[in-house]
Amino acid sequence: MSRLGNFVWSIADQLRGVYKPHQYGSVILPFTILRRLDCILAPTRDEVRDLAKRHEGGALDVQVRRKLDLRFYNTSEFDFAKLLADPEDLRSNLIDYISRFSANIDVFERFRFENELATLDEKGRLYLVVSKFAEVDLHPRRVPNAEMGDLFEELIRK
């Protein structure tokens, strides 16, 4: 297993007692996706927010694609650093963050991610998990798509 795979699965230590081992993927996989998207969108975050002030819905989709060459975006004020800066409201801020992805990013709904956030929050593990994921840079410059694909395969298999 890769160094990255080992890192991601080390997060399972934070899930012990809250989840059974076969359930770890329901938390780790969507958080891995969220962190990857967070890293990809970081360089254009401010520009997307500016565009969102002037455009909505399909018009925003077109502008983001035309001006930034992105097929998806997020209009939330949050990123992992800002999320961690407000531990008291982490869960609600995370829900805001995932709800502000463009409509073509529906993976978090499919994972019922809000339910997992509620469980982690109620068990006092949400901040720990978010802070661990914030430590890893999953931008494509650091983790090429092929390596990311291998990681996803590893996560799905476990």
Q: Give the tens place of pLDDT for each residue, 11-56.
A: 888 899 999 988 998 999 999 999 999 999 999 999 999 999 999 8
Is 123 domain-assigned?
A: yes
Q: Which domain holds residue 112?
A: 3-41+77-157
Q: Is the pTM of this model over 0.75?
A: yes
Q: 27 in a domain, yes or no?
A: yes
Domain-located, residue 58: no
Q: Is residue 136 domain-resident?
A: yes
Q: Half-sphere exposure of 110 toward its Cβ, with a 13 Å CA cutoff? A: 8
Residue 105 confidence (pLDDT) above 70: yes
* 115 lies in some domain: yes
Give the count of domains, the chain: 1
Rounded Cα distance between 97 and 101, Å, is 7
| Residue 92, helix vs strand vs coil | helix
Angle between helices 25-41 and 3-10 (to 10 degrees): 120
Assess if residue 48 is contained within a domain.
no
- Confirm whether 51 is domain-assigned: no
Question: What's the pLDDT tens digit per position in 73-101?
Answer: 999 999 999 999 999 999 999 999 999 99
Q: What is the pLDDT of residue 49?
A: 95
Assess if residue 147 is contained within a domain: yes
pLDDT at position 158:
64
